[in-house]
Amino acid sequence: MKNRIVLIGIVLLLILMTGCVRKFRVTPQLKNYEFTVSETFGDIRYTPIVDSRSDLDKKGKVENSCSGGKSGIIHLGDKNYENLLLIEFDKHLKLSLTNSHLFTNVESEKEATYTFNSNLEKYYVTLDEVKAKNTAACAGGGILGAIIASSVDVTATTEVQLTGKLTKGEEKVWQHTISQQIIERDVYGSTKENAEKSMGGAIGESCTELITEMAKYLASR
């Protein structure tokens, strides 16, 4: 156990000192729907999501402190994701449509009664490690500082803006934009798991809410 703690401390110290690229897996969390479907609305063709994120969302950023050092605020970008973000959104949106049971079939290639388009306008992941880095510095740095900092809370925040559009033939019949912010807190030693929980939860919540809004529209017709 003691050796494991020392090893964690060394890894954390290397990350803090070198600023190497850290990787996080994008794993959408499937959410249950709170509606039931009494009738289906034909079939639907799913089209791949469009990426409209800003350059900052895509590239990420590490903020500097007043003294010129690293502040401990990190904005993750595509280089920090172990797998491709848009592919994960596509898979999860298509699965969310299928699990909603609103349509008889969800297609990708064939023409259908409806067509679903989506647009990812924001996916912004922030890690606030300021307190952990300050704790490490106050403890004198080194392996001891890293070990002490590993028990300090870090906040992971994921902000999503996602737009869905439903067309029937050439006519746009529905469009809705979802904005979500998912905040998770855990100790610095669990930063990877904490960030991935925030990232996956944001995808799951936004997709579920978007399809729920579509269901409300279809039910009101």
Read off the pLDDT band of 39 (50, 70, 90).
confident
CA separation for the pair 177, 174 (Å, rounded)? 11
CA separation for the pair 18, 140 (Å, rounded)? 17
* Alpha-carbon separation of residue 18 from 13, 15, 43, 143, 219 (angstroms): 8, 5, 52, 14, 55
* Sign of the CA dihedral with 156 first, then 193, 50, and 58 last: positive
CA separation for the pair 8, 69 (Å, rounded)? 23
Contacts of 221 (CB under 8 A, 6+ apart): none
Helix, strand, or coil (residue 30): coil
Give, as one character, the DSSP assignment of residue 26: -
pLDDT digits (tens, 9 = 90+) for 155-195: 999 999 999 999 999 999 999 999 999 999 988 778 899 99
Mean pLDDT, rounded, of the chain: 84
Helices (H), 72-190: 85-100, 130-138, 142-149
CATH number of 23-132+152-220: 3.40.50.10610
Burial class (CB in 10 A: 0-12, 13-18, 19+), 214: buried
pLDDT score for 62:
87
Task: Give the domain ranges of the chain.
Answer: 23-132+152-220
Structure tokens at 184: 């998770």
pLDDT digits (tens, 9 = 90+) for 138-154: 544 555 455 555 667 78
- Whether the predicted model's global pTM rises above the 0.85 cut: no
